[in-house]
Structure 1
Amino acid sequence: MAYRTLDITIISAEGLDDVNLVTKMDVYVVASISGVRKLTRADKHGGTKPKWNHHMNYFVAESALQKPDLCLTFTLRSDRVLGDKDIGYVYVPLPDLLAGNTTSERVVEYPVQKPPEEPKGTLKFSYKYDGKFTPPHTAAPAKAHEPVTAYPASVDSSKAGAAAQAKVQEPVTVHPPNISVSTTVAQPARVAMAYPRPPYTYPPQQAAGGFGYPPLPQEYPVPAMAVYGYPQPQVQKPKKKKG
C-alpha cells in the first residue's frame, strides 16, 4: 500500500471568541486525522490573536485520500487552571487539500466554527504533500520447534549389508529437545541427632553364685546426735529437826 506524507504548519489565528472572563486566554490547537492527535504549544501572550508556527506531519494512505468523509480537524482550546475550554473547530476535507499543486507549500485560511453559534475568527495554516512511498515489509519470523529432516552420509555398499543400506536410505526426522524446568524445591538435608552416651558403669564381675555387681562401698558412720533439754530438778531432802 502506498502512503504520502502530509506536512502541516499551524501559523496563527485571529478574531477568536474570548471564553475567559477575567484572565487572558492561553490558546493551543489539537490536530487530528482518523483519531491520531497532535498538539501545539499554548501561546501565553496572544489572547484572541495567538501565534504558533508549529510544524507537524502525518502519513496518509493513498486510498484514504479519495474518501470525501475523511477530514483534518483542528480544535482550538483555552488552557485554564480549572479546566480547559473549547473555543472553536475547523474541519478540512483531505480531498480538498489535493486540488492544484500539492508538492509546493500552500497557505490557506479557514473559519473557526462553534455550533450552534456563527463562525467567529479564522485559522491560518500551510500544507504540502511529499511523494509516494511504500513501507518495507518485514520478514516473517521463523517458526520454532519445527521438526528438521536430515539425511545421513552415504555408506559404501560393499561394506554394509542389505539391512544396513535400507536404514541408510531412510530419512531421519530430528525433533528439537524438550527442555523441561523442574519446579521441585530442594529439601534441606536432615541432620542426624545423637543422644548423649549413658554414664559409665562398672562391668559385671563374676561372683561365686554367678554374675553380679561389686558390693556398694561401706557407708560412713553416722555420728551420735547430741540431745538438748533442760536439766532435771534436784529434789532436796527434808532437814531433820533437832531435839
Structure 2
Amino acid sequence: MEQRTIEIDLISAADLKNVNLISKMDVYTVVYLSGDPSSKQKAKTTVDREGGNNPTWNFPMKFTIDESLAQQNCLTLVFKLKCERSLGDKDVGEVNVPVKELLDPIPMQTQFVSYQVRKPSGRPKGVLNFSFKVGDKVVVNLDKGVGAAYPAPVVGPSTVQYGGPSGPYPPPPVAAGYGYSTPPPAYEYAPPPPVMAGYEYQPPPPGYEYPPPQPAYGYPQQAPMGYPAQGGYGYGYPPVQQPARKNKVGGLGLGAGLLGGVLGGLLIGDLVSDIGGFDDGGGFF
C-alpha cells in the first residue's frame, strides 16, 4: 500500500460568528481525516482565550493518507471550530478540504492557503488560514505491521522487487570486490617439502686428509726465554726434582740397637761383678 504524509500548521481564523451574546469566545479547532474507515487520526489545537472571533493557534499536526483513496477523491480533512463554555462547548463553524485538492499538483514546498468557514446553518462566515507540506510516497508492507515503510520502487532496470506472501525479500547485491562468487575451496593437507641437497652429512671424498689439530687457543707452543724446551709439559718448564725420602724406621732402629747394646753391656757387667764377689781392689772377699 502506498501512503503519504501531510504536515499541517493551523495558523489562525478571522471574522468568525460570535456564539456568545455577552462574553468573548474561547475558540479551538478539532481536525480529523474522513473517508478512510481504518484511520482514527485526530488532532486538537490549544484554546485561544484572547483572540475572540479572531483566534490564533500556530499549532502543528501530521496525517498519514492512503494514496489510492486520495487519488479517488475519497479523503477529506475536516476542521471543526468550537467555543469552549462551562455549560458545554458550542460549534462555531466548519471547513471541509478534499485531500486530492492538496495533492493535485503535489507542491514541492510549504503552501499557505485560506478556506471559507461555514456556520452550522451552512451559511459562510469567517476564514480559516493554515499551511501544509506533502511528504514523499512510501510503500507499506501490511505483513510487516504498521511503521514498516519502504521507498516506492523505481520503474526501469533498477526496479526494486519487494517480498510478500509469495516469498522473502531478496538479499541486497554484493558490491564488486566485497564478496565471493564461489565458496573458497576446502583445505587439503600438503606433504612436507623434500630435504634439499647440502643439508645432510656428506662423507669426505677418497684421499681426503684432515688437517693437524691446532694447539689450545690457537697459539703455537714456544719455550720460555732462557730455558730449553722439555717434553711432557705444555709450557716449557723443566720437571721438578723430588728429594729422596728418608727411611725413618731404619734410622730409628739403628739408634735403638746401639743404645740397647750399651745398656745391655752395663747390666751384664753389674751382674758379673755381683756374682764373682770382686771388691774394689780386684780380689775376692
Q: TM-score when scaled to structure 1?
A: 0.54
Are the structure 2 counterparts of residues 21 and 103 from structure 1 closer, same or farther at C-alpha, using a change threshold of 3 Å?
Answer: same
- Measure, in 2, the Cα distance between the counterparts of 1:18 and 1:51: 15
Bigger Cα displacement from structure 2, 4-13 vs 61-70: 61-70
Aligned to 1:5: 5
Could you say if the C-alpha distance between residues 97 and 139 of structure 1 is closer, same or farther in structure 2, counting changes exceeding 3 Å? closer
Contact 1:103 1:130 in 2 (8 A): no
Percent sequence identity over aligned pairs: 41
Q: 1:97 aligns with which of 99, 102, 120?
A: 102
Cα displacement (A) at 1:12: 0.3
Q: 1:117, 1:61 → 2: CA distance?
A: 29
**Change in 2 beyond 3 A, CA 1:13/1:136:** same
Partner Cα distance (2:121, 2:56) in 1: 26
Query: What's the CA shift for 1:14?
Result: 0.3
Q: Which runs of 5+ in 2 are unaligned?
A: 35-39, 146-285
For residues 139 and 12 of structure 1, the distance between their equivalents in structure 2, rounded to whole angstroms, comes to: 39
The answer to whether structure 1 residue 72 and structure 2 residue 77 are counterparts is: yes
Whether 1:54 and 2:35 are equivalent positions in the alignment is no
SS of aligned partner of 1:120: strand
- Cα displacement (A) at 1:75: 0.3
Deviations 1:40-80 (A, max 9, x none): 00101010100000000011111111122421110000011
Q: CA deviation at 1:117?
A: 4.8
In structure 2, the residue matched to 1:19 is 19
Contact 2:13/2:56 (8 A) holds in 1: yes
What is the deviation of 1:101?
A: 4.1
Unpaired runs of 5+ residues, structure 1, are 141-243
After superposition, residues 210-225 of structure 1 pair within 5 angstroms as none
Give the aligned residue type for 2:92: I
Deviation at 1:31, TM superposition (A): 0.5
CA distance change for structure 1 residues 117 and 135 in 2, over 3 Å: closer, same or farther? closer
Question: What residue number does 1:110 align with?
Answer: 115
In 1, are the aligned partners of 2:33 and 2:76 still within 8 Å (CA)?
A: yes
Task: Give distance in 2, aligned partners of 1:58 and 1:4.
Answer: 8
User: In structure 1, what residue type is equivalent to 2:31?
Assistant: A
Q: Which has the higher helix share?
A: 2
Give me the whole-angstrom Cα distance separating, in 2, the residues matched to 1:101 and 1:117.
Answer: 30
Equivalent positions of 1:1-243 (< 5 A) are 1-34=1-34, 36-135=41-140
User: Compared with structure 1, are the counterparts of its residues 139 and 101 closer, same or farther at alpha carbon in structure 2 (3 Å cutoff)?
Assistant: closer
When residues 99 and 82 of structure 1 are mapped into structure 2, their CA distance, relative to the original with a 3 A threshold, is same
Aligned equivalents of 2:144 and 2:17: distance in 1?
Answer: 53
Q: CA deviation at 1:91?
A: 0.7
TM-score of the superposition, structure 2-length normalised? Answer: 0.47
Query: What is the CA-CA distance between 1:139 and the residue it aligns to?
Result: 5.7
Separation in 1, partners of 2:120, 2:52 = 21
The worse-fitting range, judged by mean Cα deviation, of 103-112 and 32-41 is 32-41
